[in-house]
């Protein structure tokens, strides 16, 4: 069975500081990894994905994520946080073989203070 762990329920960071939202995963075979963001009363919006290739993936709104196979991690990062980045962030994984569905983490609330 595949799983995702987001160890922090909430991350607090000051505007202008770098941010990291952590994600580790477990999957049989190679992973396809995704980050989504959810703003209040909205559906999830896709940020970025890792399928294969370069371990550093760049996405929307200045976000990036680093795939680390040995640590089975896919942490989301941004060099300089904005107050408008405050939202709920979800990591998701699926296996690269067959038809498997996405498994989501429980989400991490990011709060960026002015």
Partner 1 sequence: NAGVTQTPKFQVLKTGQSMTLQCAQDMNHNSMYWYRQDPGMGLRLIYYSASEGTTDKGEVPNGYNVSRLNKREFSLRLESAAPSQTSVYFCASSEAGGIQPQHFGDGTRLSIL
- Site residues for partner 1 per CB under 8 A: 9, 32, 34, 36, 41-46, 49, 51, 90, 94, 96, 99-102, 104-107
Instruction: Rank residues 36 and 78 by Cβ distance to partner 1 and give the closer one.
Output: 36
Minimal CA–CA distance to 89: which of 57, 48, 30, 28?
A: 48
CB 62, min distance to partner 1, A: 18
Instruction: Rank residues 15 and 100 by Cβ distance to partner 1 and give the closer one.
Output: 100
Instruction: Take residue 2 and report the two structure tokens written for it.
Output: 């595949």
């Amino acid at each position: 069975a595949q799983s995702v762990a987001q160890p922090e329920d909430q991350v607090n960071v000051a505007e202008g500081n770098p941010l990291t939202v952590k994600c580790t995963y477990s999957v049989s075979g190679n992973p396809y990894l995704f980050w989504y963001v959810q703003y209040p009363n909205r559906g999830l919006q896709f940020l970025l994905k890792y399928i294969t290739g370069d371990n550093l993936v760049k996405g929307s709104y200045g976000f990036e994520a680093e795939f680390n196979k040995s640590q089975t991690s896919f942490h989301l990062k941004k060099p300089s946080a904005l107050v408008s980045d405050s939202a709920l962030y979800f990591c998701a994984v699926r296996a690269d073989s067959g038809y498997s569905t996405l498994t989501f983490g429980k989400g991490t609330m990011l709060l960026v203070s002015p």
